[in-house]
Amino acid sequence: MKEILKKPEENSGRWWEERLGWRAIMKFLREKKVPQTEHTPWLYTGSLILLFLIIQVITGIVLALYYKPTIAEAYASVRRIMSEVPFGWIIRSLHFWSATGMIATVFVHMISIWLLKSYRSPRELTWMTGVFLLVITLGFGFTGYLLPWDSLSLAATKVGTDIPRVIPLIGQWISQFLRGGEDVGADTLTRFYLFHICVLPLFIFLFIAVHLFLIQKHGISFPLKYEIKGIKVNVIPFWPDFVLRECRIWLIALGGVITLAIFWPRSLGQPAEILAPTPPGIKPEWYFLFLFQTLKIFPAQILFLKGESVAISLILLVLGLFFFLPFIDNKPAGKKGKVISIISLILIIYALAMTFWSLAE
């Protein structure tokens, strides 16, 4: 009788509690501590990536309702989205700007983890899943760029899918696999669409799940200098203190992305023609510029090797070292750690310099 006389919301709370056990989850979140130091703003980048991803998923679903992944209809369907679908151009621009924001935030997030050495033991796997997520995010950018099927996207994809050819043994195969044949065509568009809406989302959600699980398991790392000097770090509970602070960043980012989409909408180039000439002076999107410029400045021949092969091999080597960084930098507080910090800083400056150089050209 007492159960029936209880307030309806109490009954409904109990109903959910019995099925989900959310009180235990809330208890865990309240007990989870987040360090509050001068480096705390970097921590907001992780959740900001998730916000951009949510925007990507929502706008992506809306765009997929109208988009047709065939070379005969792709361009026309994007044009239709922009001209006929109500607020279609805003949705497409939102998709573009949130993608840009997501990639930029992923870079900032990785750089902050890299420089603060948050990958140190026992968070090696968290770092490695993070590198996978970075590659997948760049994959999203690369595959999504071709979908409007305009002249620039076609030309950029031609160059982009041609680059792996110089990789010894598997290069030719990778290029053919991406293109679905010898050259960029109808099969490439279908494949890129499939990667963009099916394969890559599957992998990104899988790796995000593992990444978040590992973060929950090991907690958020404390800055290295506090650990070395044994300084007591001020901590705040994840719920509600940290989440409320994160919400402020989410709101500003959401407003910023919508404003950018309205005032600087994404336009569409000329329709792509497979046999048409490549437009001169084409450049990839800003996040690939440092790689593009690196390839550009390499001489055609280095001793008896092709310059392009050397450049690609070097880039792959750096990516490999980046992936295994927690194992290479196994003593972050020692001299080796300091040397690695300086090398990391040089690499970041190099990537920025190459990007600005390419933009200025």
- Residue 174, classified by CB atoms within 10 Å of its CB into exposed (0-12), middle (13-18) or buried (19+), is middle
Among 300, 303, 304, 360, binds another protein (CB under 8 A): 300
- 236 - beta bridge partners? 34
Report how many residues bind another protein under the rule CB under 8 A: 61
DSSP code per residue over 109-138: HHHHHHHHTTT-TT-HHHHHHHHHHHHHHH
Question: Is it true that the peptide bond before 240 is cis, omega within 30 degrees of 0?
Answer: yes
Closest CA to 94 of 341, 247, 265, 291: 265
The nearer residue to another protein, 139 or 237, going by C-beta atoms, is 237
DSSP state for residue 271 in the 8-state scheme: B
Tell whether residue 62 is a contact of another protein (CB under 8 A).
Answer: no
Q: Minimum distance from CB of 105 to another protein (Å)?
A: 19
Q: Minimum distance from CB of 278 to another protein (Å)?
A: 5
Tell whether residue 14 is a contact of another protein (CB under 8 A).
Answer: no
Among 8, 168, 230, 277, binds another protein (CB under 8 A): 277
Q: Minimum distance from CB of 181 to another protein (Å)?
A: 18
Distance between CA atoms of residues 16 and 35, nearest Å: 32
Q: Tokens for 301?
A: 């021949």
Tell whether residue 343 is a contact of another protein (CB under 8 A).
Answer: yes
Tell whether residue 356 is a contact of another protein (CB under 8 A).
Answer: no
∠11-15-21 over CA atoms, to 5°? Answer: 130
Tell whether residue 185 is a contact of another protein (CB under 8 A).
Answer: no
Give the binding site for another protein (CB under 8 A): 79, 82-83, 87, 89-90, 92-93, 151-152, 159, 162, 236-237, 240-241, 244-245, 247-248, 251-252, 254-255, 258-259, 262, 265-270, 275-282, 292, 295-301, 306-308, 311, 335, 339, 342-343, 346, 349-350, 353
